Amino acid sequence: MNWAGLYTVLSGVNRHSTAIGRIWLSVIFIFRIMVLVVAAESVWGDEKSAFTCNTQQPGCNSVCYDHFFPISHIRLWALQLILVTTPALLVAMHVAYQQHQEKKLLVLTGHADAKHMEEVKKHKMRIAGSLWWTYVCSVVFRLLFEAVFMYIFYMLYPGYQMMRLVKCEAYPCPNTVDCFISRPTEKTIFTVFMLVTSGVCIILNMAELVYLVVRACARRS
Amino acid sequence: MDWGTLQAVLGGVNKHSTSIGKIWLTVLFIFRIMILVVAAERVWGDEQQDFVCNTLQPGCKNVCYDHFFPISHIRLWALQLIFVSTPALLVAMHVAYTRHEKKRRLRNGEKIDIEELKNVKLHIRGPLWWTYTSSIFFRIIFEAVFMYVFYYMYDGYQMPRLVKCEAWPCPNTVDCFVSRPTEKTTFTIFMLAVSGICMMLNLAELCYLVIKICMKGPRKTT
């Protein structure tokens, strides 16, 4: 199970999404997951091996690295992307349940031939009734997860900028030791890029929420 | 999600492209993405490890590397290729939307073969022409922007063999040596040349589309 497996799973959900939902999914896969896999992972690849401290004290390097980077950006982004894409599975489960109910109804009314069963599988579900509530919940959860992770990033790495130099005083480092981070500029560029795409995704989710609410109100009136 | 998945996604768009568009997509995948993955990534693989500075001062190497290479060529090419191939998805979305509209209209009327509708190739005219032309326009803009970014960051496209670094904590001026400069210059020029070819293909496609629509225009009025 890797990103390609997740892509296969979520592509199925795509069929029952709104147009904005499909755009959101494309942005997630192309501008976030793909950039993470082909570019960002190699930038952070040597983050520990190239983290150099101005001391020969054994253990100081490890302790300082652990102090300043409790969890690496790459792992945080991977967790964020997994949690943000997973609410779509709520919708997939609800659609599967509705299709199951439709099939049972066909069996009861005596229309259980192969052609009707195939049609149940293929036709697109309208986002109305209980499916509307499930869909809206999934969008709200997506927004929540995005916001929480952006806050965690801000708390762990204030200002989103990667520093070139950190001053470390943790035991066993003698007094204060200068430690140098590898590729700080490239890391800052990618952090800002991922932040911007995260913001774009939040905007798309809010637009989708507004669209669903407006559509439901228009239907009711 | 990697280059293979992008190829699968864009392969679908290929069906609705012009011949020049199909050639462009082939050049993109074979001469740019494939070269990036099988060759260029190995050349730049040891860029930081083998970046050697003539000093024992800890941290000097990191700081100098960061100063001279704010963003690596490989990452810039990866971003360029992602941005340049994405406008084709606008066309894919438009085609999907057009098909959806056709299905809706036909469902109200008579029943038709849904599978046949999926396989029919849409002609590039009307609003699809505008979407297609916009996508080519954006491709050209992104290519040009990235070529400019490359030129601005790494003046002259040539990889220097030696850089002189004065950033703190390096003492005074320190000589730092870049690993595989000739090989890197070769690949930079190669990727630049292919980028130029892609831009020319895009310009040719744009001209072709404009001429096609101008020729169709007078025929409609007669």
What range defines the domain where residue A84 resides? 3-219
Name the domain count of chain A.
Answer: 1
pLDDT for res A80: 93
Cα torsion A82, A85, A90, A93: sign: negative
pLDDT for res B222: 46
- Going by pLDDT thresholds of 50, 70 and 90, the confidence category of residue B48 is confident
B61 in a structural domain: no
Q: Is the pLDDT of residue B148 over 50?
A: yes
Mean pLDDT of chain A: 88
Percent of chain A with pLDDT over 90: 48
With an 8 Å Cβ cutoff, are B72 and A43 in contact?
A: yes
Measured in degrees and rounded to the nearest 5, phi and psi for residue A16 equal: -100, 10
Q: Is the pLDDT of residue B81 over 90?
A: yes
With an 8 Å Cβ cutoff, are A186 and B78 in contact?
A: no
Q: Which position has the token pair 């755009």?
A: A23
Name the domain count of chain B.
Answer: 1
- Residue A98 makes CB contacts below 8 A (sequence gap 6+) with A125, A131
- Mean pLDDT score, A75-90: 90
Measured in degrees and rounded to the nearest 5, phi and psi for residue A177 equal: -120, 135
B65 in a structural domain: no
Q: Using beta carbons and an 8 Å cutoff, which residues of B are at the interface with A? A: 1-6, 9, 41, 48-49, 57-59, 61-63, 65-66, 69-72, 74-75, 78-79, 82, 86, 89, 93, 97, 114, 169
Q: Is the pLDDT of residue B157 over 60?
A: yes
**CATH code, domain with A21:** 1.20.1440.80
- Mean pLDDT score, B141-145: 95
Rounded CA gap, A179 and A50, in Å? 10
B24 in a structural domain: yes
Q: Note whether ipTM > 0.85 here.
A: no
**CATH code, domain with B104:** 1.20.1440.80
Min Cα separation B191/chain A (Å): 17
- Per-position DSSP letters for chain A, written without gaps between them: --HHHHHHHHHHHHTTS-HHHHHHHHHIIIIIIHHIIIIIHHHSTTTTTT-EES---TTHHHHHHHHH-SS-HHHHHHHHHHHHHTTHHHHHHHHHHHHHHHHHHHHHHT--SHHHHHHHHHSPPPS-THHHHHHHHHHHHHHHHHHHHHHHHHHHSGGGPPPSEEEE--TTS-S-EEEE-SSHHHHHHHHHHHHHHHHHHHHHHHHHHHHHHHHHHHHH-
B3 in a structural domain: no
Report residue A139 as tokens: 């969008």
Q: Is the pLDDT of residue A178 over 60?
A: yes
With an 8 Å Cβ cutoff, are A34 and B6 in contact?
A: yes
pLDDT for res B70: 92
User: Using an 8 Å Cβ cutoff, are A27 and A197 in contact?
Assistant: yes
- Mean pLDDT score, A113-136: 80
Element (H, E) at B53: strand B52-53
pLDDT for res B72: 92
Q: Which of residues 154-213 of A touch B (CB under 8 A)?
A: 164-165, 178-186, 189-190
Within a 10 A sphere around the Cβ of A94, how many other Cβ atoms? 19
B chain contacts of residue A181, beta-carbon cutoff 8 Å: 62
B chain contacts of residue A180, beta-carbon cutoff 8 Å: 58-59, 62-63, 169
Rounded CA gap, A205 and A20, in Å? 8
Q: Which position has the token pair 């568009």?
A: B21
- Going by pLDDT thresholds of 50, 70 and 90, the confidence category of residue B178 is very high
With an 8 Å Cβ cutoff, are A4 and B65 in contact?
A: no
Report residue A14 as tokens: 């795509």
What range defines the domain where residue B152 resides? 18-47+72-159+181-214
Tens digit of each residue's pLDDT (9 = 90 or more) over B86-123: 998 888 888 888 887 887 777 766 555 666 656 666 77
With an 8 Å Cβ cutoff, are A55 and B66 in contact?
A: no
Rounded CA gap, B63 and B166, in Å? 10
- Residue B124 makes CB contacts below 8 A (sequence gap 6+) with B16, B18, B132, B209
Give ∠ CA A140-A146-A151 in degrees, rounded to 5.
125
- Mean pLDDT score, A188-208: 95
Which amino acid is residue B50, in one-letter code? Answer: D
Tens digit of each residue's pLDDT (9 = 90 or more) over B18-32: 889 999 998 998 899
Q: Decide the pairing of beta strands A165-168 and B52-53.
A: unpaired
Q: Which long-range contacts (CB under 8 A, 24 or more apart) does B17-25 make?
A: B17/B88, B17/B91, B18/B124, B18/B205, B18/B208, B18/B209, B20/B201, B20/B204, B20/B205, B20/B208, B21/B136, B21/B205, B23/B201, B24/B198, B24/B201, B24/B202, B24/B205, B25/B88
pLDDT for res B13: 79
Our measurement of the distance from residue B50's CA atom to the centroid of its chain's CA atoms, rounded to an integer in Å, reads 28
Which amino acid is residue A37, in one-letter code? Answer: V
Rounded CA gap, A69 and A154, in Å? 13
Rounded CA gap, A186 and B69, in Å? 8
The predicted model scores a pTM of 0.86
Burial category of B147 from C-beta neighbours within 10 Å (exposed 0-12, middle 13-18, buried 19 and up): middle
Rounded CA gap, B31 and B167, in Å? 38
Rounded CA gap, A103 and A109, in Å? 10
Report residue A189 as tokens: 């560029």
B chain contacts of residue A22, beta-carbon cutoff 8 Å: 93
Within a 10 A sphere around the Cβ of B7, how many other Cβ atoms? 16
pLDDT for res A4: 82
